[in-house]
């Protein structure tokens, strides 16, 4: 048999190779229609986030200025921030957000709220709870222009991961916030899960709850990793997102466990809920 004839490259009217084929010949996948739509949608989303932040941050700064004298808990500014963050899911039809079990959200006083961490979107989505809390967030987030500046105005609590002095300062600020009547919001995994599986939990959130005699409020997030994976900033099309509010663990029950045992128990509760959700989406 004779040698196979080489397949001719497709060319446009000017004799130039089509872009999709050029990518294939370079060992890259072709850009499909859906990928192109996602790229355009992502650019529009991030552009809207930037331009809206340019408008909304000055309003937040004015709110801070006018309320600092009487709103030490920053309830008004946090409520505005919750609306600001919720804007990006309200206006995006690709991210329908459903809150399950809102009636179980502990509202009789401060609590330590803990949630699994899958995506950058988790932060925006959790504001849909429309309840008052102080975030504990890595210190790098406070340096983000506009959004990080607003986090400082809200008196959210910075943490430098792996720094013992910063961890001690974070615990002290959490104690002060709870004493003042504010709940604390934390991701006990410490960082986003790249695989989607629940990582091991740090002890900090549970130590804070135990020593301040306040409940732990478990939250389960689903769908955010599919909408915006950990690696990258490209939105992945339409993905329903849910926030499931689980039954709070009251302070009297927490007192019956040491910190390590309570940490394992709460992780088990979240893991069971995630597995049930996977079986019955």
Distance, CA of 159 to chain centre: 16
Contact 206, 240 (CB under 8 A): no
DSSP letters along 147-176, please?
Answer: HHHHHHHTT-EEE-TT-HHHHHHHHHHHHH
Token couple for 41: 């949608």
pLDDT of residue 4: 52
Residues 6+ apart with CB under 8 A from 182: 73, 110, 132, 133, 134
Residue 51 has pLDDT above 60, yes or no: yes
* Bridge partner list, 249: 216
pLDDT of residue 26: 62
Residue 182's pLDDT band (boundaries 50, 70, 90)? very high
The CATH code of the domain at 19-279 is: 3.40.1130
Residues 6+ apart with CB under 8 A from 279: none
Delimit the domains of the chain by residue range. Answer: 19-279
Is residue 146 classed as helix, strand or coil in its secondary structure?
coil
Q: How many other CB atoms are there within 10 angstroms of residue 35's CB atom?
A: 12
Q: 90-123 pLDDT, tens per residue?
A: 999 999 999 999 999 999 999 999 999 989 999 9
pLDDT of residue 30: 57
């Amino acid at each position: 048999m004779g040698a196979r004839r080489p397949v001719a490259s497709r060319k446009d009217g000017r004799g130039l190779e089509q872009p999709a084929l050029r990518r294939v010949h370079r060992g890259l996948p072709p850009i499909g229609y859906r990928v192109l739509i996602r790229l355009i949608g992502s650019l529009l989303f991030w552009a809207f986030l930037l331009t809206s932040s340019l408008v909304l941050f000055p309003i937040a700064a004015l709110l801070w200025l006018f309320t600092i004298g009487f709103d030490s808990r920053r309830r008004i500014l946090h409520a505005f921030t919750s609306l600001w963050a919720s804007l990006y899911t309200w206006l995006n039809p690709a991210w329908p957000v459903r809150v399950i079990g809102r009636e179980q959200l502990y509202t009789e006083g401060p609590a330590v709220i803990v949630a699994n961490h899958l995506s950058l979107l988790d932060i925006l989505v959790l504001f849909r709870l429309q309840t008052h809390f102080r975030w504990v967030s890595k210190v790098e987030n406070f340096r983000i222009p506009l959004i990080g500046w607003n986090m400082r105005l809200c008196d959210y609590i910075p943490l430098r991961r792996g720094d013992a002095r910063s961890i001690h300062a974070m615990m002290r600020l959490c104690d002060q916030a709870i004493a003042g009547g504010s709940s604390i919001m934390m991701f006990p995994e410490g960082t986003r899960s790249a695989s989607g599986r629940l990582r091991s939990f740090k002890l900090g959130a549970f130590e804070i709850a135990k020593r301040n005699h306040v409940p732990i409020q478990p939250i389960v997030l689903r769908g955010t990793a599919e909408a915006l994976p950990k690696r990258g900033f490209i939105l992945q099309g339409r993905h329903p997102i849910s926030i499931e509010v689980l039954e709070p663990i009251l302070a009297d029950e927490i007192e019956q466990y040491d910190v390590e045992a309570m940490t394992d128990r709460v992780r088990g509760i979240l893991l069971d809920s995630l597995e049930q959700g996977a079986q019955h989406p």
